[in-house]
Structure 1
Amino acid sequence: MSGIDPAAIARFMAAAEAGASGMSAASPPRYVLLGHISRALLARIGLCAFILISLMEILALLEQTTAILQRNLGVHGILTYALLHLPALILQALPLSVLIGAVFMLTQMALGSEIASLRAAGLSTVTLFVLMLPGTVGVAIGGMVMHEFVTPRTELALARWWNVTSPTALQDTRGFWFHDHGSIVHVDHFSAGGTILHGVDYYRRNAKGALEAVSSARQAEFRQSVWEATSLRQLDLNTNRVVISQHATETITHSAVSPDNILILSQPYPVLSTRQIEAILHQGAPASLPKATYRMALFEPYILPMNLCVMLLLALPVVYIPPRTGTRSMMPVAALGAGFAFIVMQGLVQALGNAGTLPALLATLAPPILATLLAVAWLLKMEER
């Protein structure tokens, strides 16, 4: 299967010849070529994404199938897990899918002499990159929409379903700490989709950050938008004495944490929407991670178009494969290696941003900018040959 329709190339070459003769009919075939290249690129990106997501889904199911079957959920449980986990896998597979799909298409075009035909018609490498941009940007916009509106909901639904269906939720969940409007909370375990907490310690602080009260409850259950604590023991720290009180049941009204918050806070790196991150950074919403990590997550969906365009740039040197070289050329392997190196470098720099070592904006923009400069230098070197 060739990279694009040969008829489109023929029409483009005819238009170029007409333009050279002073005719004005050159622009419509350019849009025809744009359509063919976009369809060819999107088809290969979709194929690569399907293969990568399938492999990732199979690996995830191999890890979780035993636990799902032990809960007597059967095939329905396996399908539910796979469906709810699918959007997160799509986001993870997008950069590699664009890289492999672009390398696949450009290699076919180069070996099929289609690149040579396009160059003879006056198409430069820069113009080819511009023609491939609309399809890539469309994929990036779809990824941004999924990251903002779909994935946070499906990951939350997956966490809720996983906890509700667990017969041993108290053993499966781990203790975690989080901030709640300046106060500090520790939860040993939770069950029933985050509506029941076990072993709750609440350290309430005043506006100056000084500890003013400590509450410990054996259990807290979410009912009618408030938490009802069982076997509550409270220590109130006054200026000159400590007041200890015990209550069989007590309503906790000073906490704005919901069961959904519990599910999100218990995850190591949850997928959050921009609205949720803004609430954490500027409105004091419950948070279990450092502020630097949330600042990095705030830029993540908006840097996706740049990352995909970088993958496209790293794939472009493949067009310089001589048709006579055939499959012996190592250029596709080098392009794939450069894409993988970019992903590794981005992960390392993002780790520094999550730790607060680098500013979030710098840690987000530095890898794609550096990769873009390297890709442009690579293309210029290939152009000089």
Structure 2
Amino acid sequence: MRLQLYVLKTVATRILGAALILMSILQILDLLDVTNDILDRGLGMSGVAYYAFMRLPRLFEQIAPIAVLAGGLFAFSQLARESAIVAMRATGVSGYRIIGMAMPAAIFVMLLDALCGQYLAPRADPALADWWKNTTPVAERKVPAPRTFRAGSDLVIGATATADGREMDNVTIFRRDPKGILVEKVEAQKALYANDRWTLEQPKTTRFSGDLAQTSTAASTTWPAALKPRDVQSLFGDDAVPTAASAKRALQNGGSDRPESFYRTHFHAAFAGPFVTLVMLLLSAPVALANFRSGQGAVLLTAGLGAGLFFLVANGMLTALGESGALAPFLAVWAAPAIFGALAIRTFLALEG
């Protein structure tokens, strides 16, 4: 038990240190761009702190894989240099067991990464965007461009939306028949979400039948759309990354403004993304069995770092191909983790003998 805690503590502290350093660097670079604007708006240091705090989930999601890679390389190289690995193996502890002792640290980062990507960041981003918009001086505010998206079979144009996604202004809905011919246009000043349904206020409906167009108005009407407030937040947000839930809803006739391949790719990525941290630990594992006296350690250390960075690049490129539809989404998301994970395991097996 003491041996397991020693290995776990060594790896966990190195991963934590790498994460803190990387997050600090990204946070500083991020704040360099916005601190002057925040102070000019009279928000003071509390505004800077609020901005930094709300950015933490998204920043952690970005640095989690690199933190595990760097922390694993530092920890395993230290254990190898101190001959701790040799001593453990001399007492009958296999290399597989040593990696198993370090695995809980990577699993914890994996779970925290999933929490940030699927729950915390999707809630922090809209709140931060709304705060930023509301604190912008009136003279500098720009009218946002209307957003066009699909809601089931309907094509929708919305001017603006509230931060909670429960209200849209100046909504225009185009309905088509199965052949894609326009049959109805609905214009409403507002679309409100309450009691699990959308209500259009003062809608003006124009129905098309051949060369004829009939117009009618009403005080309000129900809009039978599968759209949810969370979907509206994503559609009106800036560079919003779909979660597994929002991607699934988009594929099930929820709100979408991208091709189907984009949402299928991100649906798979929501599950594959956290496993990237485990692959990073596997890529750093061969360093534990290296002989630093012969120079093998430096080679494996460099190779592990290079493999980890190349893995991130390859994974990003394949994901982009999946988003565009050039590659099957499942293959685009899972290919890189499977290939690099297998190569890392093969290298470790060769060193373990």
Conserved 8 A contact 1:71-1:167? yes
CA distance in 2, matches of 1:66, 1:359: 44
CA distance in 1, matches of 2:167, 2:300: 57
Distance, in Å, in 2 between the alignment partners of 1:222 and 1:73 is 32
Are the aligned partners of 2:163 and 2:233 in contact in 1 as well (CA < 8 Å)?
Answer: no
Aligned equivalent of 1:28: none
User: How far has the Cα of 1:348 moved from its partner?
Assistant: 0.4
Q: 1:259 to 1:278 in 2, by over 3 A?
A: closer
Deviation at 1:383, TM superposition (A): 4.9
Equivalent residue in structure 1 for 2:153, among 165, 169, 182: 182
Pairs within 5 Å for 1:109-120: 109-120=79-90
Q: Per-residue deviation at 1:183?
A: 1.0
- 2:113 corresponding residue in structure 1: 143
CA positional deviation for 1:121: 2.0
Q: Which moved more, 1:219-228 or 1:144-153?
A: 219-228
Aligned to 1:312: 281
Does residue 185 of structure 2 align to residue 205 of structure 1? no
State the secondary structure of the residue aligned to 1:289.
Answer: coil
1:189-338 paired onto structure 2 within 5 Å? 189=160, 200-206=171-177, 209-215=180-186, 220=190, 222=192, 226-228=199-201, 235-243=206-214, 251=220, 253-254=222-223, 256=225, 261-267=231-237, 269-282=239-252, 284-324=253-293, 329-338=298-307
Distance 1:314 1:103 in 2: 9
Relative to 1, partners in 2 of residues 1:84 and 1:111: Cα closer, same or farther, differing over 3 Å?
same
Distance 2:104 2:6 in 1: 12
Kept in 1: contact 2:146–2:158 (CA 8 A): yes
Which residue in the other structure is 2:144 paired with? 173
**Alignment CA distance shift 1:323-1:357 (3 Å):** closer
Measured at CA, do residues 72 and 184 of structure 1 come closer, stay the same or move farther in structure 2, by a change above 3 Å?
farther
2:256 counterpart SS class:
coil
Residues 1:350 and 1:223: Cα distance change in structure 2 (over 3 Å): closer
Matches within 5 A, 1:354-373: 354-373=323-342
Does structure 1 retain, via aligned residues, the 8 Å contact 2:318–2:332? yes
Q: Displacement of 1:287 after TM fit?
A: 1.7
Q: 2:60 aligns with which of 68, 82, 90?
A: 90
Distance change (3 Å), C-alpha of 1:198 and 1:142:
closer
Among residues 340, 344, 351, which one is paired with 2:309 in the alignment? Answer: 340
Give secondary structure in 1 for the equivalent of 2:175.
Answer: strand
Q: Deviations over 1:113-147 (max 9, x none)?
A: 21222222233322222222222223212322333
Aligned positions, number: 348
Shift of 1:266: 2.2
Find 1:38's aligned residue among 1, 4, 8. 8
Deviation at 1:208, TM superposition (A): 5.5
Tell me what 1:108 maps to: 78
Per-residue deviation, 1:323: 3.8
Residue 305 of structure 1 and its aligned partner are, at CA, apart by 4.6
8 A contact 1:170–1:189 mirrored in 2: no
The gaps in structure 1 that reach 5 residues or longer are 1-30
* Distance of 2:24 and 2:309 partners within structure 1: 19
3-state SS, counterpart of residue 258 of structure 2: coil
Distance 1:72 1:220, change over 3 A: farther
1:61 positional shift: 1.7
Worse-superposed segment, 114-123 or 272-281: 272-281
- Conserved 8 A contact 2:11-2:76: no
1:164 aligns with one of 110, 134, 137: 134
Structure 2: where are the runs of 5+ without partners? none
Taking a change above 3 Å as real, the CA distance of residues 260 and 134 of structure 1, as seen in their structure-2 partners, is closer
Deviations 1:177-204 (A, max 9, x none): 1112311122355577767756644322
Query: Partners of 1:305 and 1:190 in 2: how far apart?
Result: 31
Secondary structure of the residue aligned to 1:204 is: strand
Larger mean Cα displacement after TM superposition, 82-91 or 166-175: 166-175
SS state at 1:300 partner: helix
Change (3 A) 1:342 1:272: same
* Equivalent position to 1:126, from 83, 96, 105: 96
SS at 1:253 equivalent: strand
1:203-232 deviations in Å (ceiling 9; x for gaps): 223465431123456x54758764436xx7
Measured in 1, the distance between the counterparts of 2:40 and 2:296 equals: 48
Counterpart contact for 1:156–1:260, Cα < 8 Å: no
1:41-97 deviations in whole A, cap 9, x for unaligned? 111111111111111112222222233334332222222221111111111111111
RMSD of Structure 2 on Structure 1 (CA):
3.1
Which amino acid counterpart does residue 74 of structure 1 have in structure 2? G
Once residues 271 and 133 of structure 2 are traced to their aligned partners in structure 1, the CA distance between those partners, rounded to angstroms, is 31
**Compared CA separation, residues 181 and 165, structure 1 to 2 (3 A):** farther
Q: Does the 8 Å contact 1:163/1:193 carry over to 2?
A: no
Deviation at 1:371, TM superposition (A): 0.4
